[in-house]
Homo-oligomer: A and B are copies of this chain.
Amino acid sequence: MYFCNVKTDRNSFTEENYLKAIHKLSRINPKGVSTNAIAGAMETKASSVTDMVKKLALKMLINYKKYQGVTLTEKGRKAAVSVVRKHRLWEVFLVDNLGFKWDSVHEIAEQLEHVQSEELVIRLDRYLGIPQYDPHGDPIPDSDGNITHHKDTCLSDLKVNQVAVVVGVKDSSSSFLQHLEKMKLVLGASVKVDEIVDFDKSMSICISDGLPVSISEAVAKNLYIKR
């Protein structure tokens, strides 16, 4: 890392992916995201991250001081949220309009999110009916960059006999989503806690008034619900 082209206003695919990762990690670690955390999220090495954060800092997208971790600047936050907005809008399009299943849209959206055109985002948003949530229940940022997080309680927080509605998933991996689908544990489904096994914290639940089925603690912890 010798020199840097600060004059460019546009960010590369890679830069956008770093910003998105930092933005996501900031929610867990608001005081500063560590180099290692970013490397983990980006599936790259810490040394590569160090190079990149230097560049992002030069472009005034993040605050970075050696060994201190990084935080997004307002400019960086805007850029990150814009990518998230595009990602989630495209996921809605793929599921609602093209008929994709919710477990196979993430990878494609990962590419579509980098298409550059203000006009396109505005028109797509309107075309889709200004949706508030993506197919996994994640909130879609508005055009000003505001996000309203509604996911607070997990299915694992419920007690026996409590009732709720599934509103989101924490893990969006294909394997997890397919597993949920098999049990008809999809967004909008109602759940009632039938029993909690003390030994392994697994739950027996009734999905949409069906017969009780058992789910592991891992599943319960990755499902967001609304009471």
Contacts and interface: CB of A to CB of B under 8 A. Distances in A.
A123 B111 contact: no
A117 B108 contact: yes
Interface in A70-100: 94, 97-100
Interface string A92-120: 00100111100010011001101111011
Contact of A115 (B97, B98, B112, B127): B112
**Which one of A100, A117, A124 has the highest number of Cβ atoms from chain B below 10 Å of its Cβ?**
A117
A123 B108 contact: no
A119 B105 CA distance: 10
B104 A123 contact: no
Nearest to A94: B120
Interface residues of A, number: 19
Interface string A8-48: 00000000000000000000000000000000000000000
Per DSSP, chain A at the interface is: helix
Given A98-B127, A127-B97, A127-B98, A115 B108 contact: yes
Nearest to A108: B117
A112 B124 CA distance: 14
Contacts of A100: 119, 123
Nearest to A115: B111
A174 to B, nearest CB: 13
A95 to B, nearest CB: 11
Contacts of A114: 111
Contacts of A107: 117
Contacts of A115: 108, 111-112
B127 A108 contact: no
A31 B161 CA distance: 77
Contacts of A94: 120
Given A104-B119, A119-B104, A98 B124 contact: yes
Contact of A120 (B108, B116, B117, B123): B108
8 contacts: A98-B120, A98-B124, A98-B127, A99-B123, A108-B115, A108-B117, A111-B115, A111-B116
